[in-house]
Chains A and B, each alone.
Chain A
Amino acid sequence: MKNNQIGMSLIVKTVTRLTVGLMLVYGIYIVLQGHISPGGGFAGGVIIALSFIQLMLAFGKGAVLKKLGREKCIFLSGLAAFVFLLLAVRGFVARHALGFQEGHSGIFSAGLIPFCDIAVSILVASGLFVIFLALVLLTEEQE
């Protein structure tokens, strides 16, 4: 019974167990299909962050901080920003595109665009989640 008192009610927890994996997979799908169908790095990253935020709202902060801590989030956002900067420098230095540019379908089909999408999505997801985490921890300390 003690476990039930952390977070929200049993109904919310059960629904969260069913939907949070779907949301995570849908976010990854939106990121990876960003150059083929509507979507992209920013929207997919926000969906990935929303799945972690839903897990945190339903189960309390302890369940999420075990999986994805604050330091790990900060490291991931910094790493993604650095990778995106490296991709930009690579486009500035090299005058030709990458090899796998034939065909207009498939995940690896549009040069550097999928890698930029993945870097932007990791930056957005970890960044928004760490902002949410900082605000929640701040309001809990004030109470």
Chain B
Amino acid sequence: MELHLILLFMIIAGIVAVEARDLISSVISLSAAGLGLCLAFLILKAPNLAITQLVVEILCVIILIRATINKDLPLVRDGRWLFNTISTVLFVVCFLAFAYFALKELPNFGEPIMRVSGEYIANSLEKTGSSNIVTAIALNFRGYDALGEAAVLFAAIIGVLAITRKSGRVNEK
């Protein structure tokens, strides 16, 4: 019941974020949607994920505000609205059709398939010694997965530093 209320709140916040004229109010309603997602994770009993969602949301909102506060992005509303509407409806219909067939194959809510994860849940405490099972799986059973994530983050840092460097920039003045 609480989950449905929070999902409704998140949908309303998302619609406000899309439709708001002011850029700052749009960003703030986006952060309200993120806070609702954090509460939904807490209700679904995933506190680890809730902490990560909250802090990443704060960081994203700060970067969005800092990057967009001095610019008013013009909204493109003139011309081609017929083509835009038709293509949007077409993609939504395609997505719903594929999702209808794909989501029928998923297991029911709260009944996961326990092939590998059952072994992890049963033996994680004595095999790793960590009482937080999420960290035990992420850094011990799936440790090379975490190494790949760190490599992706490192590549992102190198990419940002390479794009914003001074020496390669052309002076257009």
How many residues of A are in contact with the other chain, CB < 8 A? 52
A-B contact pairs, 12 of them (CB 8 A): A35-B139, A38-B48, A38-B50, A41-B139, A57-B66, A74-B161, A101-B129, A104-B125, A104-B130, A111-B140, A113-B140, A139-B66
Majority-rule SS of A interface residues: helix
What is the CB-to-nearest-CB distance from B105 to chain A, in angstroms, rounded to a whole number?
A: 31
User: Is B58 within 8 A of A104, CB to CB?
Assistant: no
Query: Known: A131-B160, A135-B63. Contact between A37 and B143, CB under 8 A?
Result: no
Chain B 47-106 residues near chain A, CB threshold 8 A? 47-48, 50-52, 55-56, 58-59, 62-63, 66-67, 70
B interface footprint on A2-40 (CB within 8 Å = 1, 0 otherwise):
000000000000000000000000000010001111111
Majority-rule SS of B interface residues: helix
A94 to B157, CA, bound (A): 31
Interface size on B, as a range, is 35 or more
Q: Does any Cβ of A come within 8 Å of B134's Cβ?
A: yes
* Chain B residues, CB < 8 A from A113: 128-130, 135-136, 139-140
Tell me which of B48, B51, B146, B157 has the highest count of chain A C-beta atoms within 10 A of its own C-beta.
B157
